[in-house]
Each structure stands twice: as structure tokens, then as C-alpha cells.
Structure 1
Amino acid sequence: MRLPSIPAVSHVPGVAELTGLVEQVLAAGPRLAALLAQADRLVREIDRLVGEADGLVQRIETTRAEAQRVVRLTDNTRLRADKLVAAFEPHLGPLERLQPTLERLADTTDPAEVDALVALIDTLPVLAGQVEGDVLPVMRSLSSVAPDVHDLLDLTRELNAMLGKVPGLGRMKRKVDEQQSDE
């Protein structure tokens, strides 16, 4: 008995179209894999960008909070400045007259001079105490010392004249006078 013959696959209706379709799907596989890889990279990039955006939003919030704090400080400073201006307003005339003097002082004052002035101010209490305790009593007693000083000066002149008359001391006296005048 003879078996019936099996038609070739290419003769079966629709198989050729199905084969072409399968070939197209198989050919699209690598492209589909590449697209999936790109989609995966895009998803990771989007995740990274979202993370950066979150950080950026956080920094913006911090900056906004800091800006609000600066605005509050500025408002407080403005209020304080307004109070100062109001307090000094009656005195603006003298301050305006002093302005050229203050500008000149600022232009001509060296930092070393300011440091020296600060050091002097720091020593003023001690200096005032010494002047009051030591110098002023001496100054008060000078009026009573003046006649004694005049007497000593007269006596010194007389001694000088007597020494000039002693033989040999005249030359010595001139030599001492010359040395003192050279110095």
C-alpha cells in the first residue's frame, strides 16, 4: 500500500506567510534586546536624575529658608537703623559739621596709631593715679623749693669762681667745660 504523499510545507496554505512572520520576529530579537537595554539605561538615568532633582529641591528649600532668615534679619536691622536715625536726627547738624573732620581723621590715621591710642587709653587709669599721687605733690612743693634752688645756683657760681682762682684748677675747669660743650 502506498502512503499518500505529504505536501511540502511551502505548499501548505499560510505556512509561508507564517514562516516569514517567524523570521521577522527572530530578526527583530536583537533589536528588541537592544531596545530593552536602552530602556533599562533610560530607567537608571531617570532614577539618577530624580535623585539629583530631589537633592536640588532640598537645596532650594534650604536656600529659601536661609533667604527668609536673611529677610528677617534685614527687617530687624532696618528697624534698628530707623531707631538710630530717629535718635540721632536732632543731632544731625553737629554730626554733619563733624563729617569733614571725621573723614580727614579716617584718611590720615594709620592702624599703628589706633593701636597706640588704644594702648594709651588702657594705661590712662594707672598714669592718672601716678600723676595724682606722685607728680602733683612734687609740683605743689616746687614753689617752696624755688628759693632754695636759687641759693644753690648762687653758691655753685661762687664755688666755680673760687675754683677758677686756685692755681692749676683753671685749666682743668676749662678742659671740663670744653668736654661738656662737645657732648
Structure 2
Amino acid sequence: MRLPVPGPRDVLSALERGGDQLEALVGAVPRLLALLDQAEVMLERVAGTVDRIDAVVADAAAEVVRVGVVVDASALQVDRVATVVDASTLQVDRVATVVDDSGVQVARTAALLDMLEPPLTALQPTLQTLADTTHPDEVAALVTLVDHLPALTEQVERDVLPVLRTLGSVAPDLSELLTVSRELNEILGKVPGIGRLKRKVEQEEEEDAAGGGRV
């Protein structure tokens, strides 16, 4: 729409036409000034609207950046959740393996208990008698004996076993010594006076033994 604002041609035409046109032209000046004021107001409004649009665009850009950050953080959390799910799946697989192994062990234990049940049932009266007749002092003595077994084993290996190993070579010597002792005893019995001396010694030994037995 063309605004009713007089141009240069209108001014020249009005001057040629005379005073009436000039007066009309002068009367249009206030309208021209009002239109300029309205145009300035419109420009200010447009400038404010543009500023608001710029602010909205800036806010939208900031929100886009924030959304990008949130999306990145969400992607990171999704990766973490995926890692946790993978780890959980691995643990579930391990638990399943343990459960399977436990099932095998339970089956073996059940089979072992089935095998042990008859002898344990047969031994139950003996075990009950042993439990009823065993005194705590006997148990303590048995524990003490078990505690001394290492020292006893070491002493047997150090002192007794060497002697047992030499008995095979010592036995013939002992047998020969006993034979010589019997022969010597017979020879001494044939010497005059030795028999009476022997009987006297035996009598004294008997008296000593009898005297030692008296209170």
C-alpha cells in the first residue's frame, strides 16, 4: 500500500497549481511527521523483537549445548551400564558353574553317605559304649600321649632302632656267653669246697631276700 506522503513531484505540482495545493501540502506535513514517529516506534519494536529473537536463539543454542552434554553423559552411562551388565553376566555364568559343581559334589557326598551308612550303623553301639565309658581324664591323657608322639618317635628312631638292628649280631655272642657260663658253673661245682661256698652264698641271698620282704 502506497503511503500518502507527498514527494518532490507533488511539491512542484502543488506550486504550479497555486495556493490551494500549497495549503494542502503544508497540511500534510504533520501527517508526515506522525508517520515518521510511527515508523520510529515500529523500528524500535522491530529492534526489540530482534533482540528478543537473538536472546531466544542464544538460549536455544545454550540448551542445544546442554542437551549435547546430557546426551554424551547418557551415552557414557549407557556404556557403564553395558559394562556392568557384561560383568553381571560373567558373574551369573560363574555362579551357574559353581552351582553345577556343587550339584556334582552333593551327588558324590550322597553316594559316600550311602556307602558309609551300613558300617556306621553297625558301629553305632560300639561308638555309643565308647562315648559312655570314656572318662574326660582318659581323653586328656590320650591327647597328652598324642602330643608326646613326635618326641617318642624321635627317641625310638635314635636309641631303640639302632639297638634292634644290632640284635642279630649280638644274639650269637650272648648264646655263646651263656654256654661258657654254664660250663664254668659246672667246673666250679666240681672243685672241693666250692659247692659249700656256693650253697652258703645262695642261703645268704635267700635270707636277705626274706629280710627285705619283712616290714
Aligned counterparts, 1:25-64, within 5 A: 25-64=53-92
Which residue identity lines up with residue 79 of structure 2 in the other structure? Answer: G
Q: Please state how far the C-alpha of 1:92 moved relative to its aligned partner.
A: 1.3
Q: 2:104 aligns with which of 48, 51, 76?
A: 76
Q: Please state how far the C-alpha of 1:26 moved relative to its aligned partner.
A: 1.1
Aligned counterparts, 1:140-179, within 5 A: 141=172, 144-147=175-178, 150=181
Q: Please state how far the C-alpha of 1:10 moved relative to its aligned partner.
A: 4.3
Name the counterpart of 1:11.
39
Using a 3 Å threshold, how does the CA distance of structure 1 residues 138 and 3 change in structure 2: closer, same or farther? farther
Residue 2 in 1 paired to residue 8 in 2? Answer: yes
Using a 3 Å threshold, how does the CA distance of structure 1 residues 22 and 136 change in structure 2: closer, same or farther? same
What does the per-residue CA deviation read over 1:58-103, in whole Å, with 9 as the maximum and x for residues that have no partner?
10110010000000000000000001101111121437829979x9
2:8 is paired with a residue whose SS is: coil
Which residue identity lines up with residue 2 of structure 1 in the other structure? Answer: P
Residue 97 in 1 paired to residue 127 in 2? Answer: yes
Counterpart CA distance in 2 for 1:91 and 1:104 is 28
What does the per-residue CA deviation read over 1:83-126, in whole Å, with 9 as the maximum and x for residues that have no partner?
1101111121437829979x979x7766x95xx97x9xxx9xxx
Counterpart CA distance in 1 for 2:37 and 2:82 is 60
Counterpart CA distance in 1 for 2:140 and 2:74 is 64
What does the per-residue CA deviation read over 1:23-69, in whole Å, with 9 as the maximum and x for residues that have no partner?
21112233223212211211111111011011101101100100000
Superposition TM-score, scaled by structure 2 size: 0.46
Name the counterpart of 1:88.
116
1:36 is paired with a residue whose SS is: helix
Which residue identity lines up with residue 103 of structure 2 in the other structure? Answer: D
Aligned length: 138
Structure 2 unaligned segments of length 5 or more: list them. Answer: 1-6, 11-31, 186-215
Using a 3 Å threshold, how does the CA distance of structure 1 residues 83 and 54 change in structure 2: closer, same or farther? same
Counterpart CA distance in 2 for 1:62 and 1:8 is 79
Counterpart CA distance in 1 for 2:37 and 2:67 is 39
Superposition TM-score, scaled by structure 1 size: 0.53
Counterpart CA distance in 2 for 1:66 and 1:138 is 67
Which residue identity lines up with residue 58 of structure 1 in the other structure? Answer: D
Counterpart CA distance in 2 for 1:74 and 1:149 is 76
91-100 or 17-26: bigger deviation: 91-100
Higher relative contact order (CA 8 A, sep 6+): 2
Residue 137 in 1 paired to residue 168 in 2? Answer: yes
Aligned counterparts, 1:113-124, within 5 A: 113=150
Computing the radius of gyration over CA atoms, which structure comes out larger, 1 or 2?
2
Counterpart CA distance in 2 for 1:3 and 1:26 is 41
